[in-house]
Structure 1
Amino acid sequence: MATQKLYAGAKLRELRTKNGSTQKDFAAKLGVSLPYLNQMENNNRPVSTTVVLALASEFGMDVTELSSGDSQRLVSDMREILADPLFEGDTLPLADLQLAASNAPGLARAFIKLHQSHRQTHERLAYLDEALGREDARASPSPWEEVRDFFHYCDNYIDAVDRAAEHFARANSDGKTLKATAIAALTAVGIKVSFDDMAALRRYDPNAGILHISSRAPQETQLFQLLFQTAMTRQNSLLEATLDLARFHSGAARDIAKIGLANYFAGAALMPYQTFLTSAQDCRHDLEILAGQFGASIEQVAHRLSTMQRPGSKGIPFFFVRVDQAGTITKRHSATRLQFARFGGACPLWNVHSAFETPGRFLRQLAETPDGVRYISLARDISKPAGRFGAPVRRYAISLGCEVRHAAALVYADGMDTSRSSAFEPIGISCRICERKGCHQRSVPPLERQLVVDPDLRDVLPYQVE
């Protein structure tokens, strides 16, 4: 099998600029000629093995960052934006988008932000129409998307917060449990912890200095909420500094992001990076073993696995997604080349939807996306009862997966024939941008393809895709 060539011009330019080097000095340190460096920086030539080794030895660069997936994310986001009816008739070839993402990533991000601003303005006007009683109004905008994109482009890994949580978890020098350590940390700042029979998972009364935790909640949820409050109080300066760097456009987005960062701290303290990474590798990423070892839920473990992207000590690049029973994505992250639709539901051919039909079981799937990349996907339903009779039960399904080249490191791949092409089911991202012609589950036509409508033929779809 031919080795895939590595083009990383933007990252080479970024590293050279960061080090304040001229092209001539940079080329000398890499052991290549000036014209060769110029060609690599403009993606006219791939990065050679010699250059990769020089980047690691001369600059201490984590060479896995050369193909970190930023380009794929930008291409995916631009393709979905171009599926907006606003750009009808202005379809761009995939090669042009890939060229823009690799050669001019700053311009690509500016294009994405511009479209976001346009759409948010349109939605604000639609919300005003709704307030005035018009029938064609759309829903009001939400700052959730801005926060989601912040974590998305950080690879869902926040180094300063992750390391602070790891340090907190390691501070149990006297042998106390993490729960006892969290309670002691809160007590030290004048917060009393009370476990009460209540419907809410957590309620903090700042005036009385009392943190109420639901005694009905599972033990892992109680601990997570204690760690969340620890982050909000003991790590407030760190969270605020991180938010300052993010430069959110609205106060609401900043508030939501702070909750997200506190949740991140809680998960990272519950499952400290290096200890968790070693355990995951030892048990071949068995979610149930990890949940038992760290006192976490299956969902918490799966989510944590998707954040293991610390430079110099990266885990397997996983994607993680959670959907509700309507198929709407409520959580999503991908450190892989697979990118989820920013709006709407996930591909109906994906096994995450079948998890609702088989409660309590892990479903395995070998899947291939239209770009030819193959994945192994694990899905399971997640139920969240309220702890009392008659209370509504929240039901979700989660999926965790990675590229099939990592299958040997997953216990869930045992017994699956990853060498047989027919074993991989074809899945897509979003019907509007999916290139598959004969998909029997297609909901809308692809915008980048011409349609043929034959009144004398009715197949699975009422049209044919050229």
Structure 2
Amino acid sequence: MPQRSLVGSRIRQRRIALGVRQAALARQIGISASYLNLIEHNKRRIAGKLVVDFASALETDVTSLSEGAEETLVTGLREAQSQYADAAALEPAEDLTGRFPGWSGLIAAQQARIADLERSVEGLTDRITHDPFLSQSLHDVLSSVTAIRSTSSILRESKDLEPDWQARFHNNLYEDAVRLADSSQNLVHYLDASDGSEASVVSPLEEFEDYLEHKGFHLEDPSDPPKSLSPEAQSLVDDYAATYAVDARALPSAQMQAALAQYGPDPAAISAAFHLGFAQTLRRMAAVLAHQGQPVGLVVCDASGTFTYRQPVEGFVVPRFGAACALWPLFTAFSTPRQPQRSITQFAGRGSPAFVTYAVAEPVAPFAFSGPNVLHATMLILPLPEGEQAPIDQVVGSSCRICPKDTCPARREPTILEV
């Protein structure tokens, strides 16, 4: 929807600030008060000499009347408005921005904050639900607490315990307390993963992902110093580096940059121009665009739905431990192997951005009658260009538990969010 002119709202705001009555301003400009009222409520567009006359009468410049509030503020209000059940009853975002820019900024800021908090809830819910380390740590803490409570209860209620048994219970109490302290410390250390410290990485997969993020998902800089990894994480890095090297030889960074300049972010055109597999093209685009500092995401999974590669992009939440939304193009690609899919995808929720996704499922080895024939699905995720309007093909979630879609044929469990 194109932005309506806010010149009238700015005229009204400036007139009130100067304490000028509407009728007096209308006489000074040479128009009727009723016509000025229509202008101030953005029901009549004005331009040219009339804008100059208003600027002169209101002792301001033409630019302040013709430009005014930023488009981003209006966009933020529209996002907040879209989450309101009776959005049609609200006045247009442009009018509110023109009349009350301060309140509009507050609403837009709150909308952005709500979106950030919802993304944080998604990440924490995913970790609490599916993280085996966290589950084990919580179990250890609860077991230690139960043992301490049981031992202390025996000591409190048994007044005539023999000294030997009393010493045993005291020793058990001490050992359980030490175990509780260690488990609690490990749990806190793990939950501090958000600080970005290397010490928070606890599994080979997390080491691998931390390594790739440290490299910027680009392995072609020989001057970059090596990073110390566990043997298990190093094996994951070696496997990835071998695939990366094959992709880089097939389409070097310089040629990919030239292709992006020529074709734009169009994997079909680039794949055809260089005779590459579609999944290989998606991987190269993700690596080169990330190295250029462009927002880009890439996800790879096997037929079980397990993620074998995660290159996140802001706004598109990819759970670390699985149980993602079955509606993602990444998963539907399995139904048509080797057939690329393009989709405009948006997350359900408040003010979620839209993304252009490209997905394909390809075999990791040539198909054979003897089998097994293993497929991996690859999905490239690009933010929809700012200002571009496109119909949404699919509204998805990150996982069922925190998805606000009230009707979804793919839902596996009830949502904990209010819908």
TM-score by length of 1: 0.45
Question: Which structure has the bigger radius of gyration?
Answer: 2
Structure with greater proportional helix content = 2
TM-score by length of 2: 0.50
